Amino acid sequence: MTEAAPERPRELLVSGHVNVDRFLRVATFPAADRTVPVVSQSVALGGTASNLARMATRLGVATGLVARIGTEFPRAFREQLRRERIDLRGIESVAGGSTPTCFIVEDGRGRQRTFIDQGPMDNARGARYPGPWIKEYAWLHAATGPPTYTLALIGRAVASGLRVAVDPAQEIFYRWDSRTFQRLLASAEVLFGNRAEIDRAFRLVGGGGVRRLLEHVPLVVRTEGSEGATAFSRTGVSHVESRRVHRVRTFVGGGDAFRAGFYGAWFHGTPLRGCLEAGTRAAARWIERGI
């Protein structure tokens, strides 16, 4: 990862999901064909792109979003993003059908079951791409979304002079195959993922572990939950421990907050290890109290 172009007025454009998150909290998950009582339920603004952009903006990064939502997306959530001074020119409201919604069941011990209604994020049919204003940005963080759209967006970003980080998250298991994933890495300077996602990335490039993966992308940043985070580059490995969490609000979005903290430090010129440390601080803050 190299220094962002200083002449560009905005630092980070994030593509991915902007969701309605519907939470159910239970004491324990039921066995098949069994029932457990719901302890509490809530609705929140969520999504990989939204979480990252909101925390990054809070940390001083000039951030924008690229996402598709439905017309039923709550107006209050859109106003919330606007109040937080996130650039929403890349948000496309698609008529008909549902808005992207995650149904998240948490058991209070850090485990979750998640079901997603992709809404207009299900495919790239008729999708709108950012206009000439994309050139205002230095970096594109390409997270979740249809592979055809993500690859085309990256092509437009690179042609406009942006650098690219990729972060397919859980979709690496069911949306990306070996061919499309290697195309995803072709223009990327950074790959983000948790331990399971990076293990999947190893398989998608034909095995060989980190060394093989680094043939495709110069920097791999792996989040490791309570064990911290590790960055693998062609010049070495850097690891930091996790931050102690005193209470748990939610683990959902903690990885997105890590990325925001990483970028917040990166755009201030912090060395790689310091970026990892900033990421773990942001993740702990999110888990404890959110933004």
Residue range 102-146, pLDDT digits in tens? 999 988 777 889 999 999 999 989 999 999 999 999 999 999 999
The boundaries of the domain holding residue 73 are 10-19+47-96+123-289
Measured between alpha carbons, how far is 17 from 188 in angstroms, rounded to an integer?
A: 20
Question: Is 185 inside any structural domain?
Answer: yes
Q: Does residue 229 lie in a domain region? A: yes
Is there a domain that residue 129 lies in?
yes
Task: Pull the structure tokens for residue 51.
Answer: 């979480």
* Residue at 114 is within a domain: no
- Number of domains into which the chain is organized: 1
**Residue 99, token pair as written in the block:** 């808005």
- Give the DSSP per-residue string, 9-60: SEEEEEES--EEEEEEEESSPPPTT----EEEEEEEEE-HHHHHHHHHHHTT
Distance (Å, whole) CA 240 – CA 231: 9
Q: Is residue 236 part of a domain?
A: yes
280 in Cβ contact with 247 (< 8 Å): no
How does pLDDT run across 1-45, given as a tens digit for each residue? 433 444 678 999 999 999 999 999 999 999 999 999 999 999 999
Q: Helix H segments across 36-193?
A: 48-58, 75-83, 147-159, 178-186
208: in domain? yes
Global confidence as pTM: 0.92
**35 part of a folded domain:** no
Residue 115 lies inside a defined structural domain of this protein: no
What integer pLDDT is reported at residue 7 of this predicted model?
60
Closest CA to 259 of 161, 142, 172: 142
CATH code of the domain containing 233: 3.40.1190.20
